[in-house]
Amino acid sequence: MTLIKNDIYPNLEYFTADNIHSDKITAIFTTRNGGASGKTAETEFLHSLNLQINSSDDDYQNIAENYRIIAGSQGFKAENVMKVHQIHTDEIIVVDSNISNKGLAQNQNSISNHLGEADALVTNIKDILLSVRVADCVPILLYDNANGAIAAIHAGWQGTFRQIGAKTVRRMGELYGTKPNQTRAAIGPAAGICCYEVDLDFYEKFQQKYGEKINRFFCIEKSKKPFCDLKKMNKAFLLEAGIPETNIEVSELCTIDNPGLFYSHRRNGVKRGTMAAFIGMK
Ligand SMILES: [Zn+2]
């Protein structure tokens, strides 16, 4: 992944998923830099590319401007940004011609508009920018070049537990004829095993469902709490779903210990902004 500093939008920084991103397709993970939020001392923690849609701390004008900046930087219209109300499930929303006009509207009442409750979006329609919001959770982008289909996925630990990534690949197969071995995947910046400490019952829950093979995604030392590698686990589930290793790119970066680049729920609790991942075909 490459950190892009955009010349047209001051201070805008985002990562491109280099195995997907091109002139014809946007596949990016935002940082916290280059937006309109957090201009006062009280709102400094939002500085500055906050993409949370239901923030009581930020003005809707700032959030709308931030979505305009991102969409504009990629040559898309802000009203074609699609988002969902994320609820830590494995639900998938299909953006078809019936709902492709329900993107981000630029007024106070509808900045928080979304297509429904879900944690993944798929489409085969061009000029639409699918988005999921994250602040430590794992963002995953999928691209099926052969059939012209894309997905954006929010995988927190619960979505990971339910293998939302693999489920989305299968759904793209049913809808668009997507074959896993022709699909590319990018796993963006998220909580790293360096910082993502979990409770023992969290580990046991995974172990109960997946058995001993899950141990390789945890760092367990005696008399310490386990640490979990959610990015690596999501990659493993995508491999199991049939995506070749050479088609999967994973960000090395941890959102928790990079405060200059990322918002982090683990680091700052609710006093934070939110990043997003975007994918769209032109
Ligand atoms: Zn870390």
Domain that holds residue 236: 2-192+229-281
Ligand 1 centroid distance, CA of 258 (Å): 8
Q: What is the pLDDT of residues 180-211, one digit of tens each?
A: 999 999 999 999 999 999 999 999 999 999 99
Contacting residues for 268 by C-beta, under 8 A, at least 6 apart: 45
How many domains does the chain fold into? 1
Average pLDDT for 234-242:
98
Report which of residues 252 and 99 the model is more confident about: 252
Report residues near ion ligand 1: CB below 5 Å.
192, 194-195, 254, 256-257
CATH of the domain at 275: 3.60.140.10
Question: d(Cα 88, Cα 156) in Å, to the nearest integer?
Answer: 6
Q: Examine residue 202 and state whether it is found in any structural domain, yes or no.
A: no
Ligand 1 centroid distance, CA of 6 (Å): 26
Report which of residues 124 and 101 the model is more confident about: 124
Ligand 1 centroid distance, CA of 140 (Å): 19
Ligand 1 centroid distance, CA of 101 (Å): 39
| pLDDT number for residue 54 | 76
Q: Examine residue 244 and state whether it is found in any structural domain, yes or no.
A: yes
Are the C-beta atoms of residues 238 and 11 closer than 8 Å to each other?
Answer: no
Ligand 1 centroid distance, CA of 216 (Å): 18
Nearest 5°: phi and psi at 153? -130, 135
Q: Examine residue 201 and state whether it is found in any structural domain, yes or no.
A: no
Q: Examine residue 204 and state whether it is found in any structural domain, yes or no.
A: no
Q: What is the pLDDT of residues 15-48, one digit of tens each?
A: 999 999 999 999 999 999 999 999 999 999 999 9
Find, among 74, 64, 66, 76, the residue nearest to 100 by Cα. 76
Nearest 5°: phi and psi at 279? -140, 135
Q: Is the peptide bond before 48 cis (omega within 30 degrees of 0)?
A: yes
Residue 240 in this model has a pLDDT that exceeds 90 = yes
| pLDDT number for residue 199 | 96
Average pLDDT for 267-272:
93
Ligand 1 centroid distance, CA of 196 (Å): 7
Greatest Cα-to-Cα distance within the chain, rounded to the nearest angstrom:
54
Q: Examine residue 218 and state whether it is found in any structural domain, yes or no.
A: no
Report which of residues 222 and 198 the model is more confident about: 198
